[in-house]
Amino acid sequence: MRIGELAERTGVSERSLRYYEKQGLLTAERTPGGHREFGEWAVDRVIRVQALFAAGLNSAKIAELLPCMRDVDGGPSARATERLVAELAKERERTDRLIMDLIRARDVLDEAIDLASRSRA
Protein backbone atom coordinates (compact mmCIF):
# COMPACT_ATOMS: atom_id res chain seq x y z
CA MET A 1 0.00 0.00 0.00
CA ARG A 2 1.14 3.56 -0.59
CA ILE A 3 1.86 6.02 2.19
CA GLY A 4 -1.47 7.82 1.74
CA GLU A 5 -3.42 4.62 2.31
CA LEU A 6 -1.31 3.76 5.35
CA ALA A 7 -1.95 7.24 6.73
CA GLU A 8 -5.67 6.89 6.14
CA ARG A 9 -5.88 3.42 7.70
CA THR A 10 -3.92 4.37 10.81
CA GLY A 11 -4.96 7.99 11.31
CA VAL A 12 -1.31 9.03 11.26
CA SER A 13 -0.14 11.79 8.95
CA GLU A 14 2.08 11.07 5.98
CA ARG A 15 4.64 13.40 7.50
CA SER A 16 4.72 11.31 10.68
CA LEU A 17 5.06 8.12 8.66
CA ARG A 18 8.06 9.57 6.82
CA TYR A 19 9.52 10.52 10.21
CA TYR A 20 8.97 6.96 11.47
CA GLU A 21 10.81 5.65 8.43
CA LYS A 22 13.69 8.08 8.97
CA GLN A 23 13.94 6.97 12.62
CA GLY A 24 14.00 3.28 11.67
CA LEU A 25 10.58 2.57 13.14
CA LEU A 26 9.02 1.68 9.80
CA THR A 27 10.43 0.38 6.54
CA ALA A 28 9.13 0.68 3.01
CA GLU A 29 10.03 -0.82 -0.31
CA ARG A 30 10.46 1.60 -3.18
CA THR A 31 8.75 1.30 -6.54
CA PRO A 32 10.78 1.93 -9.69
CA GLY A 33 9.24 5.43 -9.61
CA GLY A 34 10.52 5.99 -6.06
CA HIS A 35 7.16 5.72 -4.28
CA ARG A 36 6.99 4.06 -0.88
CA GLU A 37 5.20 0.73 -0.71
CA PHE A 38 4.26 -0.76 2.66
CA GLY A 39 3.11 -4.27 3.44
CA GLU A 40 -0.06 -5.03 5.36
CA TRP A 41 2.11 -5.51 8.48
CA ALA A 42 2.79 -1.75 8.51
CA VAL A 43 -0.69 -0.99 9.85
CA ASP A 44 -0.01 -2.98 13.03
CA ARG A 45 3.48 -1.50 13.30
CA VAL A 46 2.22 2.10 13.09
CA ILE A 47 -0.48 1.44 15.67
CA ARG A 48 2.12 -0.09 17.99
CA VAL A 49 4.50 2.85 17.48
CA GLN A 50 1.67 5.28 18.26
CA ALA A 51 0.91 3.40 21.47
CA LEU A 52 4.56 3.50 22.53
CA PHE A 53 4.79 7.24 21.84
CA ALA A 54 1.59 7.72 23.86
CA ALA A 55 3.22 5.79 26.71
CA GLY A 56 5.99 8.38 26.74
CA LEU A 57 8.79 6.50 25.02
CA ASN A 58 10.98 8.41 22.60
CA SER A 59 11.78 7.29 19.06
CA ALA A 60 15.25 5.99 19.97
CA LYS A 61 13.81 3.75 22.71
CA ILE A 62 11.01 2.60 20.41
CA ALA A 63 13.54 1.73 17.68
CA GLU A 64 15.43 -0.35 20.22
CA LEU A 65 12.28 -2.03 21.46
CA LEU A 66 10.43 -2.82 18.22
CA PRO A 67 12.63 -5.73 17.12
CA CYS A 68 11.85 -7.40 20.44
CA MET A 69 8.08 -7.20 20.00
CA ARG A 70 5.73 -9.38 18.01
CA ASP A 71 4.38 -7.89 14.82
CA VAL A 72 2.51 -9.55 12.02
CA ASP A 73 5.89 -9.74 10.28
CA GLY A 74 7.82 -11.60 13.00
CA GLY A 75 8.56 -12.17 16.63
CA PRO A 76 10.94 -11.19 19.39
CA SER A 77 14.66 -11.27 18.82
CA ALA A 78 17.79 -11.69 20.89
CA ARG A 79 17.94 -7.88 21.15
CA ALA A 80 15.74 -8.06 24.25
CA THR A 81 18.66 -7.58 26.63
CA GLU A 82 18.44 -7.47 30.41
CA ARG A 83 19.24 -3.76 30.22
CA LEU A 84 16.35 -3.13 27.85
CA VAL A 85 13.99 -5.11 30.06
CA ALA A 86 15.11 -3.08 33.09
CA GLU A 87 14.62 0.20 31.20
CA LEU A 88 11.17 -0.87 30.08
CA ALA A 89 10.28 -1.83 33.65
CA LYS A 90 11.25 1.72 34.71
CA GLU A 91 9.07 3.13 31.93
CA ARG A 92 6.22 0.95 33.15
CA GLU A 93 6.67 2.28 36.70
CA ARG A 94 6.67 5.85 35.35
CA THR A 95 3.48 5.11 33.42
CA ASP A 96 1.88 3.65 36.55
CA ARG A 97 2.75 6.84 38.46
CA LEU A 98 1.20 8.96 35.71
CA ILE A 99 -1.96 6.85 35.83
CA MET A 100 -2.20 7.29 39.59
CA ASP A 101 -1.70 11.06 39.21
CA LEU A 102 -4.50 11.16 36.64
CA ILE A 103 -6.80 9.15 38.89
CA ARG A 104 -6.13 11.56 41.76
CA ALA A 105 -6.81 14.52 39.46
CA ARG A 106 -10.05 12.92 38.31
CA ASP A 107 -11.08 12.34 41.93
CA VAL A 108 -10.46 16.01 42.74
CA LEU A 109 -12.51 17.04 39.70
CA ASP A 110 -15.31 14.66 40.69
CA GLU A 111 -15.39 16.21 44.15
CA ALA A 112 -15.43 19.74 42.72
CA ILE A 113 -18.22 18.80 40.31
CA ASP A 114 -20.22 17.25 43.13
CA LEU A 115 -19.79 20.30 45.38
CA ALA A 116 -20.59 22.70 42.56
CA SER A 117 -23.69 20.69 41.63
CA ARG A 118 -24.96 20.70 45.22
CA SER A 119 -24.44 24.44 45.59
CA ARG A 120 -26.58 25.06 42.51
CA ALA A 121 -29.45 22.95 43.81
> What average pLDDT does range 77-93 have in this prediction?
79
SS3 state of residue 32: coil
Task: Please state the pTM of the whole predicted model.
Answer: 0.69
Over residues 19-33, the pLDDT tens digits come to 999 998 998 999 999
In this prediction, residue 66 has a pLDDT band, given cuts at 50, 70 and 90, of confident
Q: Residue 75: what pLDDT?
A: 54
Report yes or no: 38 and 52 within 8 Å, Cβ to Cβ. Answer: no
The residues pairing with 74 across neighbouring beta strands, listed in sequence order, are 71
Residue 36: other Cβ atoms inside 10 A:
20
Report yes or no: 67 and 47 within 8 Å, Cβ to Cβ. Answer: no
Torsions phi, psi for 36 (to 5 deg): -75, 140
In this prediction, residue 85 has a pLDDT band, given cuts at 50, 70 and 90, of confident
In this prediction, residue 96 has a pLDDT band, given cuts at 50, 70 and 90, of very high
Over residues 6-60, the pLDDT tens digits come to 999 999 999 999 999 999 899 899 999 989 999 998 999 999 999 999 988 899 8
How many whole angstroms separate alpha carbon 6 and alpha carbon 16? 11
